[in-house]
Chains A and B, each alone.
Chain A
């Protein structure tokens, strides 16, 4: 398939369809309305179904139903709506169902604003809803990567029987870039038939009970431990990371994800021309977090700078990775304000020169 100029939101919707998703349930919220709008027009063309739910709470329970019936299903929303979906997501994780959820983050807390932010990192990577669970979280930095990750997300969700979150922001959703959908794409994980799905019991298999209720504490503990083993397998096998300049010599390592990493990339270009040596690690999977890659890259630097559109969330994982070996500093904007390459370059220069020792 040839490259096509597409808006990020539409590319993610198309990617879901290319991945065999024929069901979308969602509720309007800015800045991600282009995804449901695209799906409402496109799904009927491929024999699929689009339902505008009455709320995000309902949408999260609709995807629970559809996934339990064994079909690939997508929803998308933005921060306040994602909070409402946490009910369904906790049940989905507890019932071990595969769904893909796109969060086009906006500034918060509360109603916040509609401009891009990265304030949902904790919610996305540390569970989010009630109970002891994790979502696999992938953070694209370009429209092409968003499309690729959405397709992979469906395979990962099916393989692990677990919700997969695509964590983007308004920039990823709105910007237009060339995208290519490969006609010969293979699933990124081996996929087994969904013999566990509720498709009508005819006596030829155990009854399908899609459920997260375990009244027996011993049974629930076994279930929790089974889930934990699954998350451990994700941490072993599903870390994704991109690195820029970490094979060379550098004074400062910048860690950033999503669109912020693009700003950092531009800053690194400017710094290189100015003779300042810096590198970047960009976590693509936020859960599992690429601790080893960050640690390895940090050990070669005299300072680490974490750049986020929040008051500092991913920095906690970076500190866990670095384990105090190198000072970890922070630069961020909030409220929908953006970091510029100049902001980041200036801070890197200070750190390279040995200034700004307090984080």
Chain B
């Protein structure tokens, strides 16, 4: 019987081994994005934008044209590429320090202008590449190198919920949060990523998928336990689901006096 290849690497990934730490879920998320690009037949007209952070070298791993952005500016770079070449599929891949801290202005305005780009936002609740500093997404009480006694919400406030924040805007087409801490969740995450890229393929405006991710190295938790830690500590604060769809309404305030 002749051999038939039933499973392989997506063509949107290169053969370069990643530099990610053992147990880091960046690799899973890279693969999900690459599978979606292949399945939607977008790989050959895609330009990605790498952030500053652990995924700074993403251009080595995706087999598409790529830009390396300065810290937090990937959505501005994406704007420039997409406005220059509307025929391209443009996505940024950003971590939580990059997007939720230094790049908050760029992602908000990119979303609000309705740029026809897709943002993959990887939230692992910490700065990874610089060595485990507190991020805007770090959980209350979570220890980081710049909050050695744990995040003090009196000093640093509560973690930013990006999917919720972006979904308050009228313009974006699709905003969702997913996680990759279990195979089942990864399947759901892929579906969210697929819907985001489909929006762009259909010419709809801005789409963003926040993906909860682990950082065993900087959390100081072994890889398998990190998955549990994510589930126990991040999921209750960062609920999964779709926050905005192309048809979705504005967020309406609750009525002041009772309800209808």
Q: For the complex, is A53 an interface residue (Cβ under 8 Å from B)?
A: yes
The answer to whether residues A66 and B70 also contact, given A61-B76, A200-B44, A200-B46 and a CB cut-off of 8 A, is no
Residue of B nearest to A54 (CB): B109
B115, closest chain A residue (CB): A51
Does A65 have its Cβ within 8 Å of any Cβ on chain B? yes
Decide: A66 and B63 in contact? CB cutoff 8 A.
no
Do residues B63 and A68 form an inter-chain contact, with CB atoms below 8 A? no
Q: How far is the CA of A70 from the CA of B65 in the complex (A)?
A: 12
User: Which residue of the partner chain B has the closest CB to A201?
Assistant: B65
Q: Are B66 and A54 in contact (CB under 8 A)?
A: no
Q: Return the chain B residue nearest A64 by Cβ.
A: B77
Distance, CA A88 to CA B76, complexed state (A): 10
Is A209 touching B68 in the complex (CB atoms < 8 A)?
yes
**A199 CB–B CB distance under 8 Å:** yes
Partner of B80, one of A55, A65, A207, A209: A65
Residues of B within 8 A of A61 (CB): 69-70, 73, 76-77, 80, 106
Among B46, B68, B77, contact of A212 (Cβ-Cβ < 8 Å): B68
User: Is B67 an interface residue when CB atoms closer than 8 A count as contact?
Assistant: yes
A73-87 interface (Cβ within 8 A of B): 73, 87
Check B113–A91 contact: CB distance below 8 A: no
A71 at the interface (CB under 8 A from B): yes
Query: DSSP majority for the B interface?
Result: helix
Residue of B nearest to A62 (CB): B80
* Interchain CB contact under 8 A, A91 and B83: no
Asked if A111 is at the interface of the complex by the 8 Å CB criterion, the answer is: no
Closest B residue by C-beta to A203: B44
Tell me, rounded to whole Å, the shortest Cβ–Cβ distance linking B37 to chain A.
Answer: 11
Q: Which residues of A contact B45 (CB under 8 A)?
A: 200
Q: Which of B44, B47, B70, B108 contacts A69 (CB 8 A)?
A: B47
Taking a contact as CB atoms under 8 Å apart, the answer to whether A64 and B80 are in contact is yes
A59-B113 Cα distance, complex, nearest whole Å: 14
Enumerate chain B residues within 8 angstroms of A213, measured Cβ to Cβ: 56-57, 68
Q: Is A137 part of the contact surface with B, judged by Cβ < 8 Å?
A: no
C-beta contact mask, B100-111 vs A, less than 8 Å → 1, else 0?
A: 000001101100
Q: Could you say which interface size class chain B belongs to? A: 20 to 34
Known: A200-B46, A207-B64, A211-B68. A69 touches B84 (CB 8 A): yes
| A contacts with B, residue count (CB < 8 A) | 39
- Give residues of chain B (31-90) contacting chain A, Cβ–Cβ below 8 Å: 44-47, 49, 56-57, 59, 63-70, 73, 76-85, 88-89
Q: Are B83 and A62 in touch, CB under 8 angstroms?
A: yes
Given contacts A62-B76, A200-B88, contact A210 B106 (CB under 8 A): no
Q: Which residues, 88 to 113 on A, are CB-close (under 8 Å) to B?
A: 88, 91, 95
Whether A23 is near chain B, meaning CB under 8 Å from some CB there, is: yes
- Chain B CB within 8 A of A236 CB: no
Query: For residue B59, which residues in chain A have a CB less than 8 angstroms away from its CB?
Result: 209, 211
Known A-B contacts A68-B81, A207-B65, A211-B67; the reply to A53 vs B47 at CB < 8 A is: no
B44 touches A201 (CB 8 A): yes
CB pair A66–B81 under 8 Å, yes or no, is yes
Q: Are A51 and B83 in contact (CB under 8 A)?
A: yes
- In the complex the two chains form, what is the Cα distance from A295 to B68 in whole Å? 43
User: Are B66 and A69 in contact, with the CB atoms below 8 A?
Assistant: no
Contact with B along A37-71 (1 / 0, CB 8 A): 00000000000010101110111011111111111
Residue of A nearest to B43 (CB): A201
Q: With a CB–CB cut-off of 8 A, which chain B residues contact A62? A: 76-77, 79-80, 83
A185 on the interface (CB 8 Å rule)?
no
Known: A51-B79, A54-B105, A61-B77. A201 touches B63 (CB 8 A): yes
The smallest beta-carbon distance between B82 and chain A, in angstroms, is 8
24 sampled A-B residue pairs with Cβ under 8 A: A23-B84, A53-B79, A54-B108, A54-B109, A57-B76, A61-B76, A62-B80, A64-B76, A65-B79, A66-B80, A68-B67, A69-B80, A91-B70, A198-B81, A199-B65, A199-B85, A200-B45, A200-B65, A200-B88, A202-B44, A207-B64, A209-B68, A210-B68, A211-B66
- 12 more contacts with CB within 8 A, not counting A25-B83, A61-B69, A64-B80, are A55-B105, A61-B76, A62-B80, A66-B80, A66-B83, A70-B84, A73-B80, A87-B73, A91-B70, A200-B64, A201-B63, A211-B66
Q: Which 8 A-B pairs have the closest CB atoms?
A: A65-B80, A61-B76, A198-B65, A54-B109, A62-B80, A66-B80, A65-B77, A61-B73
- Chain A interfacial positions (CB closer than 8 Å to B): 23, 25, 49, 51, 53-55, 57-59, 61-71, 73, 87-88, 91, 95, 198-203, 207-213
